[in-house]
Amino acid sequence: MFFTSYRSVLFVVCFAAGCGDNQEDTPDDNTVPHEDPADPESDTGIPADECTFNGFESGSIEISNGYDWFLLAKNEAGDGGLRVESWGQFDGPTDAGEYTVGGNNYADCALCVMMYEDCSGGDISADSCDTVYFGSEGTAEIITFDTSGTGGGPVEIKLTDVVFKEVTINPYAGYLSTEVEDGDTWCVDETYTGTFRDYVGAGDAMPEFTAPDQTGADVSSANMSGTMGVISFNAGDWCPPCEAVAETHEALFQAMQVADERYGVSFVEMLVSNNDGNIASQGDAAAWAERFEMTYPVLHGVRVDAYFTEHVGAYMVPAYWIVDPLGQVRAWETGQGSLTAAVVQEHFEAFLSDNPDWTRDTDG
The CATH number of residue 302's host domain is 3.40.30.10
223 and 323 in one domain? yes
Q: Does some domain include residue 18?
A: no
159 and 92 in one domain? yes
Give the mean pLDDT of 258-287.
93
State pLDDT tens for residues 294-335.
999 999 999 998 888 778 865 578 999 999 999 999 998 888
Residue 36 lies in domain: 29-195
Is it true that the peptide bond before 297 is cis, omega within 30 degrees of 0?
Answer: no
- Weakest mean pLDDT among 58-67, 179-188, 259-268: 58-67
> Residue 356 pLDDT > 80, yes or no?
yes
Q: Does some domain include residue 316?
A: yes
Confidence class of residue 152 from pLDDT cuts 50, 70 and 90?
A: low
Q: Does some domain include residue 255?
A: yes
Alpha helices in the chain (DSSP H): 240-257, 282-291, 302-311, 341-354
Does residue 233 contact residue 272 with C-beta atoms inside 8 Å? yes
Does residue 313 contact residue 213 with C-beta atoms inside 8 Å? no
> Residue 7 pLDDT > 80, yes or no?
no
Q: Does some domain include residue 9?
A: no
222 and 122 in one domain? no
Domain count, the chain: 2
Q: Does some domain include residue 42?
A: yes
181 and 33 in one domain? yes
181 and 47 in one domain? yes
301 and 155 in one domain? no
91 and 58 in one domain? yes
Q: Does some domain include residue 5?
A: no
156 and 217 in one domain? no
Q: Does some domain include residue 16?
A: no
308 and 260 in one domain? yes
278 and 185 in one domain? no
User: For the CA atoms of the chain, what is the radius of gyration?
Assistant: 23
pTM beyond 0.85: the answer is no
112 and 219 in one domain? no
Helix (H) or strand (E) holding 265: strand 264-271
Does residue 154 contact residue 191 with C-beta atoms inside 8 Å? no
